[in-house]
Structure 1
Amino acid sequence: MELHAPPKRLTVRDQFVLSVFWFSLNAQSAALFPIVIPLQILLFLPPGPVGSAQQALLLGWISAAGAVVSLIMPPVFGMMSDNTRGSWGRRRPYIAAGALLLVLSALLLAVAGSIAIFVLALILNQVGSNAANASYQALLPDRVPREQRGAASGYMGLMTIIGNIGSLGLAALLLNQVSLTSTGSDVIRRGALLFYVITGIVLIVGALITVIGVREIPFMPAASASDHEQESTLLRFRRWFVRNWVAPWREYNFMLIFLTRFAVMMGLTLFMTFIEYYFADVANETNFVQATAVVALLALVGAICSAFVLGIYSDRVRRAPIVCVSTLFMAMASFAFVIAPGSFPLWILGILFGIGYGAYTSVDWALAIDAMPSLSTVGKDFALWGSSTNLAAILAPAIGSFIIYLVSIHAATSLGYRVVFAVATLFLLAGALFILKIRVEAPVDARSS
């Protein structure tokens, strides 16, 4: 493992500098698949009603294609950052490079003139996102002492939520002229371009604050053991592969925390990917873009109420019950869209979902750190855990679009969207059950210190 002193206690300023890049990342990504990408897809298809099975199918497969590249890359970037040497530190070079690629790929998304270029830009966007995210999320356990993990998770959750609010509010403002009766290509292109330019500036500012403001401890690898120097190259590779890529899955807590996040992310991704088309086709909202943004913003208002306080509170109690209850809140809100579309007031559903989302976001990271096999390989292991999100991003849109397409053959397309939200509810319930089985102990490095 790397040799360094335990992290020092963080001040409020330290917490802000360490967490601000979450705001920047979410300022671009939060509205991307729920609002911006579904509208841009309309530019590549013949004119027709918004929310058609053809549009849902294309959205699902484009989302899955963009996420496939993200399945393996995060652990690779995490491992690379675990072992990177240099005056910039282990994590910051990848944060800077990833942010730059995110900005460039976003501009390409804005000007893409064909579906092939659009998908290529989306894949590049995922590469940049994974380079930045995998290294950035490992920067936090590097710099946060154990007794402040809940507080740091609360700051991270708060910055994530504020970034989501800014992203969704900006998208709604720039694309508010799009409706069921008006889907002009010029309006979509202009709004999308402004969205990508503004969020690109926010990304650059956040990356600069992180790269300049965070001081990393130089990487100092321990002396390598000589016991295996006489082994063949193949045997050394096998030992390395098992240690890095197989051993973590043998850890009970790690496997459960992975399954928990996968189930929750499947539910959230199904919900967020198709919510805009749901409002257009099921709820028959004329201003479906604004309806999507309103629900999302109400959810984030609820999230702000729970995120920061519960993150700090989780340093004093068991984190698993908080994550379980928060997931149940999201499941209840999702199920309401299944049984009574258009009947429940949107503000109630939005706030209910948001309270659960805020609590989950603020405590999830701290619980994952508690369950890591070792802090010496946290970049790679954290990225392995994070690949549960990428796996969900691949499967959920493909499964959701297939369900909608299949149902539309035999019944109304609107029924397909309700079935998708029912499946999302089941995944959220599964996540709530998995989390109760976790038996958290101190990570290896903390126990041995």
Structure 2
Amino acid sequence: MPSAVLPARSVPSPWVLSAFWFGTAFHWLVLLLILMPANVVQFVGEAQKGTYLGVLTAIGAVMALVLPPLIGARSDRSGKRLPYIRLGLGVNLAGLVVMALAVTALSGMTGFWIYVLGFLLVQFGNNYATAPYAALIPQLVLPEQRGRYSGVMGMLQAVGQLLGAVSAFAVSTLHLPPVVSFLLIGIVLAVPALITIRGVREEALDTQEKAARTSPSWQQLFAYQPFLWVFVTRVLFSLGQYSVQPFLQFYNKDVLGQTNAANSTSIMLLCIIVGGILSVWAGGRISDQVGRKPVIYVAGTVMAAAAVMLLIAPSYAVALALAVLFGLGFGAFSSVDWALGSDAMPSAGSYARDMGIWHVAFVAPQLSSAPQGALLDWGNQQGHNFGYTLVFGIAALFFLAGVVLVRNVPETRQVRAA
């Protein structure tokens, strides 16, 4: 397959290049794992919380599924990245305003559907910005440095999530109104985005000379073995994540018996993130030396084991220890994930489109939240919190399948040339 690695020019530091991921990580942790579960209960009540939260997550996932490849392809044709990031950021912030207004001024199903509208704006804006943004590492960073850049990106994402968990805990403990959380999300999203926008020179991004603008068709893209297997394994790991992640707050209340589920979930997320921080930096650097796959073998096995053991955790304290264990695996996986995906891009002329398609492997599994939410409610109706056994067990199976199949990814440190 025709391909080229274009020379890196004016590459910003990994901290500047990945700053926007820091804000995005804070944004999605607080929104998806803290605010949305609590807001859904406020709108629809306890009996249908799993179903409606799953529906809301799936509705947003449809937007995130369709938009990145389309906007990425448009960005590739124009040779521009930053204008898309700016516009997407503005729409994202507007969506947060709509969601905040729905929570503070409305109730019942009317409020819920206005809330959904705001969430769609958030999804549209965030994906409009991050599709071209995702192309920056493969476009600007040399293959032998991608592990380090991916590790820094993973570190900033983990720290963003850490700050999100701490902020959510503080807001809940101080009994501050929900609008404060939405305001924090907006600020922490916008400031790092501006750091990246100011730190990346637009002229350095217009690197697709006509000779390198060859874009493989979708059929050629998925016929390219590195991309195909990276895509498949990322789908599996994401299915494992989204089998459990949206329902952590419900798990803390129903299974662990925590009276303040929002606070206990924040602490659990904090433990996951601390575990991730401990492994994410080392994982990226190790992968530059020994390859990406060995790191993923270990990471996926650890995540699967932690998911199963959470089902039998005898106490909240033990669950927190298992959360740290899960975080160690997740951090190692995150540190390698982006480098593995960047290595698998077949053509320098379609980085944004192909990274957008690859991003679908992360987003599409969010659609599973709707059937998983319904499965959770059905299982719990059978008694003894059986729904959690189902969704956590399914998560472990997905992680293990990802570990088994990642061996099919051809190990490569660079974009292959014809």
Q: TM-score, normalised by structure 1?
A: 0.85
What percentage of aligned pairs have identical amino acids?
A: 33
Distance 1:403 1:218, change over 3 A: closer
In the alignment, the residues of structure 1 paired with residue 177 and residue 290 of structure 2 have an alpha-carbon distance, to the nearest angstrom, of 45
- Code of the residue aligned with 2:120 in structure 1: it is I
User: What number of residue pairs does the alignment pair up?
Assistant: 408
The question of whether the paired residues in 2 share the 8 Å contact of 1:8 and 1:145 is answered with no
- Code of the residue aligned with 1:401 in structure 2: it is G
Structure-2 residue corresponding to 1:200? 186
- Code of the residue aligned with 1:99 in structure 2: it is L
The question of whether the paired residues in 1 share the 8 Å contact of 2:65 and 2:363 is answered with yes
Structure-1 residue corresponding to 2:87? 97
Distance 1:251 1:224, change over 3 A: closer
In the alignment, the residues of structure 2 paired with residue 4 and residue 316 of structure 1 have an alpha-carbon distance, to the nearest angstrom, of 21
Q: Are 2:71 and 1:80 aligned?
A: no
The question of whether the paired residues in 1 share the 8 Å contact of 2:96 and 2:186 is answered with yes
In the alignment, the residues of structure 2 paired with residue 329 and residue 4 of structure 1 have an alpha-carbon distance, to the nearest angstrom, of 35
Cα deviation code 1:1-34 (max 9, x no counterpart): 9999511596xx7121111111111111112121
Q: What is the CA-CA distance between 1:378 and the residue it aligns to?
A: 1.2
In the alignment, the residues of structure 2 paired with residue 406 and residue 206 of structure 1 have an alpha-carbon distance, to the nearest angstrom, of 42
Among 381, 393, 404, the alignment partner of 2:376 is: 404
Q: What is the CA-CA distance between 1:338 and the residue it aligns to?
A: 2.0
Matches within 5 A, 1:230-245: 243-245=216-218
More helix by share: 2
Larger Rg: 1
Among 308, 318, 327, the alignment partner of 2:281 is: 308
- Code of the residue aligned with 2:114 in structure 1: it is I
Q: What is the CA-CA distance between 1:339 and the residue it aligns to?
A: 3.2
Cα deviation code 1:223-243 (max 9, x no counterpart): 589xxxxxxxxxxxxx98xx4
In the alignment, the residues of structure 2 paired with residue 413 and residue 159 of structure 1 have an alpha-carbon distance, to the nearest angstrom, of 39
Matches within 5 A, 1:162-311: 162-176=159-173, 191-216=177-202, 217=204, 219=206, 222-223=209-210, 243-311=216-284
Aligned structure 1 segments of 4 or more residues deviating by more than 4 angstroms: 1-5, 220-225
Among 93, 99, 103, the alignment partner of 1:109 is: 99
In the alignment, the residues of structure 1 paired with residue 72 and residue 122 of structure 2 have an alpha-carbon distance, to the nearest angstrom, of 18
Q: What is the CA-CA distance between 1:144 and the residue it aligns to?
A: 0.8
Structure-2 residue corresponding to 1:66? 60
SS in structure 2 of the partner of residue 372 of structure 1: coil
In the alignment, the residues of structure 2 paired with residue 224 and residue 247 of structure 1 have an alpha-carbon distance, to the nearest angstrom, of 18
Q: What is the CA-CA distance between 1:166 and the residue it aligns to?
A: 0.9
Q: What is the CA-CA distance between 1:311 and the residue it aligns to?
A: 0.8
The question of whether the paired residues in 2 share the 8 Å contact of 1:336 and 1:344 is answered with no
The question of whether the paired residues in 1 share the 8 Å contact of 2:311 and 2:392 is answered with yes
- Code of the residue aligned with 2:191 in structure 1: it is V
Matches within 5 A, 1:144-155: 144-155=141-152
Cα deviation code 1:174-204 (max 9, x no counterpart): 1236xxxxxxxxx6xx532111111211222
Distance 1:220 1:386, change over 3 A: closer
In structure 1, runs of 5+ residues without a counterpart are: 47-51, 178-186, 226-238
Distance 1:318 1:220, change over 3 A: closer
In the alignment, the residues of structure 1 paired with residue 253 and residue 51 of structure 2 have an alpha-carbon distance, to the nearest angstrom, of 15
CA RMSD of aligned residues (A): 2.3
Cα deviation code 1:270-290 (max 9, x no counterpart): 211111101111211112112
SS in structure 2 of the partner of residue 373 of structure 1: coil
The question of whether the paired residues in 2 share the 8 Å contact of 1:331 and 1:425 is answered with yes
Structure-2 residue corresponding to 1:49? none
The question of whether the paired residues in 2 share the 8 Å contact of 1:324 and 1:432 is answered with yes
Distance 1:376 1:56, change over 3 A: same
- Code of the residue aligned with 2:194 in structure 1: it is L
Q: Are 2:153 and 1:156 aligned?
A: yes
Q: What is the CA-CA distance between 1:342 and the residue it aligns to?
A: 3.1
In the alignment, the residues of structure 1 paired with residue 184 and residue 34 of structure 2 have an alpha-carbon distance, to the nearest angstrom, of 16
Structure-2 residue corresponding to 1:22? 21
Distance 1:426 1:222, change over 3 A: same
- Code of the residue aligned with 1:80 in structure 2: it is R
Q: What is the CA-CA distance between 1:399 and the residue it aligns to?
A: 2.1
In the alignment, the residues of structure 2 paired with residue 344 and residue 331 of structure 1 have an alpha-carbon distance, to the nearest angstrom, of 19
The question of whether the paired residues in 2 share the 8 Å contact of 1:269 and 1:393 is answered with yes
In the alignment, the residues of structure 2 paired with residue 368 and residue 281 of structure 1 have an alpha-carbon distance, to the nearest angstrom, of 37
Among 304, 307, 313, the alignment partner of 1:331 is: 304
Cα deviation code 1:386-422 (max 9, x no counterpart): 1011111112x1121121232244x127211221111
Q: What is the CA-CA distance between 1:219 and the residue it aligns to?
A: 2.5
SS in structure 2 of the partner of residue 412 of structure 1: coil
The question of whether the paired residues in 2 share the 8 Å contact of 1:67 and 1:123 is answered with no
In the alignment, the residues of structure 2 paired with residue 223 and residue 314 of structure 1 have an alpha-carbon distance, to the nearest angstrom, of 33
In structure 2, runs of 5+ residues without a counterpart are: none
- Code of the residue aligned with 1:421 in structure 2: it is F
In the alignment, the residues of structure 2 paired with residue 367 and residue 3 of structure 1 have an alpha-carbon distance, to the nearest angstrom, of 17
